[in-house]
Amino acid sequence: MIAKQLITSHIIPLKRTDTGVFALAQMDEARLSHLPVVDGDEFIGVISDKEIQAVDEPEYEIGQFKILLTRAFVAEEQHVYEVLKLFSSLNLTMLPVVSEANQYVGAIILPTLVNVLAEMVGIQNPGGVIVLEINDKDYSLAEIVQLIESNDAKILSCFVTSQPDSTKLEVTLKVNRIEIGPLLQAFFRLNYTVTASWSKEDLYHEGLQDRFDALMNYLNI
């Protein structure tokens, strides 16, 4: 999935002639801490509620503020992973989507991104979860896939994380089987280190859904 497919239609960008007071009201209504600023169709930058609140005269037009607007945006064709990276690194609540000609196309909000990621990791699909610890030099996704599929299962999602100053990788697998005993035995036979697993679908799904719902509530959805 790419950035332009994640655009939320109801985000209205600010204009240079809009006042800081108006911008804060728009942010409050949209439940966002950031909004894009445009000049016609041209993307100018992103302004935050904190930047506006720090201005001595918030009733002035945004174009008169002596602040440097953040040039944070994502191109239309960039992948959802790049969108996630920018949200995380820039600590944004909204990310503009901009064309090659620097025209404002739309905006992505965090709750939309979270919903997409939930679909990507298979949160709604029944199955089990297996967490492996592997030396980075021994990691082979092809070998893991072959092991899973040779036991009549398929990988629904796979995430690999690493720790600083460590040669160990944590590989989290979501598979389409609730009964994962045969898979665990297969990993044990090949001397894989299984650090965690969940196979009782009702309990696992309920717990995962609770965490997801809690995140949605935190985002005021």
In tens, the pLDDT along 132-153 reads: 999 989 999 999 999 999 999 9
**C-alpha distances out from residue 80 to 117, 160, 174, Å:** 9, 17, 20
Q: Count CB-CB contacts under 10 A for residue 130.
A: 24
Say if CB 105 and CB 73 are below 8 A apart. Answer: no
pTM of the entire structure? 0.67
Tell me what the mean pLDDT of segment 172-183 comes to: 90
- The owner of tokens 């992973």 is 81
Identify the band that residue 163 occupies on the pLDDT scale cut at 50, 70 and 90.
Answer: confident
Domain boundaries, the chain: 3-117, 122-216
Tell me what the mean pLDDT of segment 165-174 comes to: 90
Same fold, 3-117 and 122-216: no
Please give the order of strands across the beta sheet that includes 74-75.
74-75, 94-98, 104-109
Domain 3-117, CATH: 3.10.580.10
Assess whether pLDDT exceeds 60 at residue 211. Answer: no
Identify the band that residue 221 occupies on the pLDDT scale cut at 50, 70 and 90.
Answer: very low
State pLDDT tens for residues 50-65. Answer: 989 988 888 889 888 7
For residue 121, give both structure tokens. Answer: 């990791």
Assess whether pLDDT exceeds 90 at residue 76. Answer: yes
- pLDDT, residue 202, reads 45
What's domain 122-216's architecture? Answer: 2-Layer Sandwich (3.30)
